[in-house]
Amino acid sequence: MRQTSLIRKTMETSIQLDFSLDGSGASTIQTGVGFFDHMLTLFAKHGLFDLSLTCHGDLDVDQHHTVEDIGIVLGKAFNECIGNKEGINRYASITTPMDEALSIVTVDISGRPYLVYHVEGVKDKVGNFDTELIEEFFQAFVNQSQINLHINLSYGRNSHHIIESIFKGFGRALDFASCKNPRIVGVPSTKGSL
C-alpha cells in the first residue's frame, strides 16, 4: 500500500498527516491558513490523492512556519509512499489553464532534489496569504520528496488563478509520474537505481 501517516511537532508547528498516493482525491485539510487549505484541497482532488491534514502553527508570528513545515511533512510522506520507484512512470509534464492563467508543471521522480520556480507577476498577497510562501512550500516539498520539479508560468493576470493553476498542475503531474505502468519493469533508469 502506498500510504503513510506522519506526525511532526516542533516549537513552531504541530502537524498530523495521512496520505495515500492511490486515492480518490478525498481530503480534509485544516491548517489555519484558508487560502493554503484551498490550494492543498485542489492538489489532492486533481492528483487523486487522499489527504487528511491538520496543522497548529504559530500564526501569531506569521504563516511561514506553517506553510514550509507542511511542505516538509507532505514531501516526506510522498517519498515514503513512492518506495523503491519500481514500475512508476517517473516523468510528467502537465499544462493547466485556469481562466486567463496558464502554467506548466514538470516532474522527475529522480532521487535528486531540485526546484526551478519561474513565476513572475504575482501580487504580494491573496487575501491575507503571503504569496512568496508558495515557493517556500515547493522548496520544502522538493527537499524531502527528492524530486526534480519545474514550475513555469506561461502567462496570467489574476494571482489567485495563477496559484490555483500551479497547484492543480502539481497534483496532476505528481499523479501521472507516480502511477505504476505495467510496461515498466524495475526502476525506470538505465543506471538501475533512482
Number of domains in the chain: 1
Cβ-Cβ contacts under 8 Å for 139 (sequence gap 6 or more): 71, 115, 117
Q: Let me know if residue 48 belongs to a domain.
A: yes
Q: Let me know if residue 97 belongs to a domain.
A: yes
Length of the chain measured in residues: 194
Angle, helix 34-47 to helix 159-178, in steps of 10 degrees:
40
Q: Let me know if residue 95 belongs to a domain.
A: yes
Closest CA to 141 of 169, 162, 118, 170: 170
Q: Let me know if residue 46 belongs to a domain.
A: yes
Q: Let me know if residue 187 belongs to a domain.
A: no
* CATH code at position 101: 3.30.230.40
Enclosing domain of residue 12 = 3-83+91-178
Q: What is the pLDDT of residues 43-94, one digit of tens each?
A: 999 999 999 999 999 999 999 999 999 999 999 999 999 999 999 999 999 9
Q: Let me know if residue 49 belongs to a domain.
A: yes
Percent of the chain residues past pLDDT 70, beyond the cut: 100
Q: Name the grid cell of 110.
A: 529522480
pLDDT at 190: 84
Q: What is the pLDDT of residues 170-191, one digit of tens each?
A: 999 999 999 999 999 999 888 8
